[in-house]
Structure 1
């Protein structure tokens, strides 16, 4: 499954919302430094979709706020 994700790092709280167009809006506590926000994103999505972290991959947008995520279900 592929999902468009809009990430907001340095947020006060972690949460995931699904927007009307199916895009996930994800607030992350981590700063976008040294891949910390990407790591937190992978952990959150793995927890939400009940898969292991290795089943969640960032396909596009490693250094962007807009990402394409692939999840093996």
Structure 2
């Protein structure tokens, strides 16, 4: 595993009433993190909103988060470059929450 790059699986809920990162889609520690965004899934708007929301929720700069897979899917694989040392703990806290 490259400590300079970490992957994160997310499940997107486009068209939500507000943007929120939290909860898991399914059971277990490997279940994707839920990201609800108000943007619709049109012309990549939801994907862009997901990248910004995840960056904000993890406390990293937007350019550190990029899409690896799933441009047209609700299931996406993101890459976080130069993650903070406590990234695992931050993701665990978000995963324990609920997306609304």
Find the counterpart in structure 2 of residue 21 from structure 1. Answer: 29
Q: Which has the higher strand share?
A: 1
Gaps of 5+ in 1: none
Find the counterpart in structure 2 of residue 4 from structure 1. Answer: 9
Question: Whose radius of gyration is greater, 1 or 2?
Answer: 2
Gaps of 5+ in 2: 1-5, 84-100
**What TM-score comes out, normalization by structure 1 length?**
0.90
Give secondary structure in 2 for the equivalent of 1:57.
strand
Task: Point out 4+ residue stretches in structure 1 off by more than 6 angstroms.
Answer: none
Q: Cα RMSD over matched residues?
A: 1.2
56-65 vs 20-29, greater mean Cα deviation: 20-29
Q: Which has the higher helix share?
A: 2
**What TM-score comes out, normalization by structure 2 length?**
0.67
Deviations 1:30-51 (Å, cap 9, x if unpaired)? 0011111111111111111111
Give secondary structure in 2 for the equivalent of 1:62.
coil
1:31 has 2:36 as partner: no
- Residues 31-70 of structure 1: matches in 2 within 5 Å? 31-70=40-79
22-31 vs 59-68, greater mean Cα deviation: 22-31
Would you say how many aligned residue pairs link Structure 1 and Structure 2? 73
17-26 vs 3-12, greater mean Cα deviation: 17-26
